Amino acid sequence: MDPILFRWGPLVIRWYGVMMALTILAALWAAYRLSPRFGIRPALIDRLAVLTIVLAFIGARAGYIISHPAEFTNPVEMLRLDHGGLTSHGAIAGGLVALWIASRRERVPFWDLADAVIWVVPIGNIFVRFGNFMNGELYGDPTSLPWAVRFPGVPEPRHPLQIYEMILAVGILAVALSISRRRAFSGQVFWTVIVLTSIGRIVLDLLRSEDRIWWVITYGQIPAVALILIGTWFLTRRRVVRAKDVRGT
């Protein structure tokens, strides 16, 4: 594996950058095509795209800085895009801020808008994790399983956690598409994706012992637990409310 997809003189195209670009394009296409199911005009997706991308990136970067403070000895390093990385939970937080701003400005229901754009999470986990795989990063613990991968500079074959996350994301995307056709309440698609993705993060991080901060806990599992609790509460509460409304009619 090689992190560089193409090199021509000083021009270097990296797999990770290409996968990020494909994530944005594919997520915008999905949101544009599927937004009418949630009562959102496709034109609104065009208007909020730049704001969402910018705030999601800022959130992703801020999340990495907060979770890896030892890597930044001075504030200037925080601005260096070649130093450190991004976090998915930070991106979600930044994206939610963008959706809140857009829902207020455009006067559309927040959770309908969230359902319309949540495709970026599983799509991102498909494309970006492939970029991580080509970078030889975010692998799991040593293993002797037949599909173990030997990453550059790593002496032992490892669990290809990036591939595991890609497979999981495909399954979550299929579930989300199915729910979108028979959505019972606003926010159902969004929180289903978030809860399933967070459960996957907790389980897969058990195979990432080098990132543990205490016992079997990693930094990524902490916000994942919080999102599972919030999402489960939201989904349960909305189902109860909807059931009462159905009985009342």
DSSP-derived pairing of the beta strands 4-8 and 11-14: antiparallel
Alpha-carbon gap, residue 240 to 91, rounded angstroms: 30
Would the pLDDT of 181 be above 80?
yes
pLDDT > 90 in the chain, percent: 64
Where in the chain are the domains? 4-248
Q: Which residue's entry shows tokens 């979770």?
A: 67
Would the pLDDT of 186 be above 90?
yes
What pLDDT is stored for residue 119 in this prediction? 96
Would the pLDDT of 126 be above 80?
yes
pLDDT in tens, 47-95: 888 898 899 889 888 887 877 777 777 777 776 666 667 788 888 889 9
For 13, phi and psi rounded to 5 degrees?
-110, 120
Alpha-carbon gap, residue 63 to 165, rounded angstroms: 20
For 212, phi and psi rounded to 5 degrees?
-70, 140
What pLDDT is stored for residue 148 in this prediction? 97
Per-residue CA distances from 203 to 151, 168, 186, 221 (Å): 22, 11, 28, 9
The H or E element spanning position 151 is none
Tell whether pTM > 0.85: yes
Name which of 33-47, 67-81, 146-160, 169-183 the model is least confident about.
67-81
What pLDDT is stored for residue 208 in this prediction? 93
Q: Are 167 and 21 in contact (CB under 8 A)?
A: no
